[in-house]
Amino acid sequence: MARIRVLVVDDHRVFAESLAAALAAEPDVDVAAAGSGSAAVRCLDRGVAEGRRFDVLLLDADLGSGDVVELIGLLREGRAGLRVVVLAEKDDAARAALALQAGASGWVAKDCSLQRLLGVVRGVLRDETHLPPALLTGVLRELTEARRHRTESERLVESLTPREREVLRCMVAGLGRKAVAERLFLSPHTVRTHMQNVLGKLGVHSTLAAVALARRAGVDPAALAGDVVERGGQLA
């Protein structure tokens, strides 16, 4: 019988230990628990080092003060086979949609039955996606809207010149005007003009808004080291 390795990540110790004990009673389930995102990373890394990778991660939707969507990305980075199921105290279509976009395979109520949770654990290992029926319509609406925004954002980014897109990548990387000028071998005045053009073409009024739009469009940040940047006006 193939073993299923589950990691429960929840900062409520009693809940985490109780859930882990209930799951461990299953003959084919091995369980560990972690009380924070950093502890979860250590557990995942230790599992790899010991040759016993975790298959499913059950993640508290309200873990500490962190952003669960960002945490999903962190925990799945370099772990393509890891399935993440979010355990939530309340239905939230918007957050559930964001969790799915970040790579989660399911969103489940914390007070669901053990049999329901086991069904989800086994289901996601068959590449199924699990959501409470009451959330389906809301999540589909959120995903459709996100796709529409992404399409619009991609169209706006495509309207930029190659140099403006390079400036935008630098903005996404968090570089200020002076740093962008040094990186692209331009004067600060020229960079200022490019940034103004970027904001105007994207239809936004701040760098933060431009960065948010760029991320929706899938724009990668400029690497902070190792990129080869063309000099002079060839990309202007």
Note the pLDDT of residue 26: 93
Note the pLDDT of residue 23: 95
Burial classification of residue 206, based on how many CB atoms lie within 10 Å of its CB (0-12 exposed, 13-18 middle, 19 or more buried): exposed
Q: Which residues of the chain have pLDDT under 50?
A: 226-236
The domain locations on the chain are 4-140, 159-236
The single residue listed with the structure tokens 């431009």 is 210
The sheet with strand 56-60 has its strands ordered as: 29-34, 4-9, 56-60, 83-88, 106-109
CATH number listed for the domain at residues 4-140: 3.40.50.2300
Distance, CA of 59 to CA of 129 (rounded, Å): 15
Distance, CA of 192 to CA of 49 (rounded, Å): 49
Distance, CA of 103 to CA of 168 (rounded, Å): 26
Note the pLDDT of residue 153: 83
Class of the domain covering 159-236: mainly alpha
| Angle formed by the axes of helices 114-124 and 13-24, nearest 10° | 70
The single residue listed with the structure tokens 């999540």 is 139
